[in-house]
Amino acid sequence: MAVVNPFRIKGYAKSKLARNKTDKADARLIADFCLTQEPAQWFPPSPEVQHLQALTRCIEVVEEMLLMEQNRFEVSPTQTQSSIKRIIKTFEQEIKELQSQIKTHIDDHPHLKEQSELLQSIPGIGAKTAQLLLSEVEFARYSSARAVAAQAGVTPRKAQSGTSLNSTKLSKLGNRRIRKGLYFPAIVAAQHNKIIKEFARRLEENGKTSMQIICASMRKLLHIAFGVLKHKRPFDSNLAFSS
């Protein structure tokens, strides 16, 4: 079985000048794509990673619902505030329970615990970000840091044509959870991680905008994470500078 980014199928349909979109036409198109493009075989995540992913995605949903209720409380009439407070308390308790389950699950699997500790040795990556990365990316299955960055959709997408068009943006053709989860860690890393701080300084001197610097820092963080896990050594900024 292969799991393919839908944009590839959509682009393939355009290249074939497909005019109809029906179930039969789509099935024929996908079959033709698989026959001619031979997409790579997909392997499911390991059971422990699937378990971790289920927990982290569940806590993500509960946190979103908690935020909704907190916002609703700010504008709610007095008559309903006591009810909303109880709902908020329930969500907060559930988040604590899920966080406890995640910690226990990681502690029960030595390789996950080792990887979590290695990731947290990187300034900018805390326990929550480490949990997210381990649940969404099995780093050992990737051959390069660039491949991991592509999976997260943080690789640059350059658009250039003549002198009228010249821009570079995130490709965003990847896992949105990773991009969302790395945004604030990248900001922290640009202040407290020697490697990324120097990297951000050079980008700023080259005229890059704040958002471009943050996005580039997200990608740099993933590259560092890949290197730390590949070599199974805690982050050392001095070694990184000398390499």
Domain ranges of the chain: 6-37, 47-108, 139-242
Structure tokens that stand for 140 in this block: 């050992």
Q: What is the 3-state secondary structure (H, E, C) of 14-57?
A: HHCCCCCCCHHHHHHHHHHHHHHHCCCCCCCCCHHHHHHHHHHH
Structure tokens that stand for 201 in this block: 């300084």
- pTM for the model stands at 0.82
Q: Are 72 and 66 in contact (CB under 8 A)?
A: no
Q: How confident is the model at residue 160 (pLDDT cuts 50, 70, 90)?
A: low
Q: How confident is the model at residue 239 (pLDDT cuts 50, 70, 90)?
A: low
pLDDT at 162: 66
What is the average pLDDT across 55-67? 96
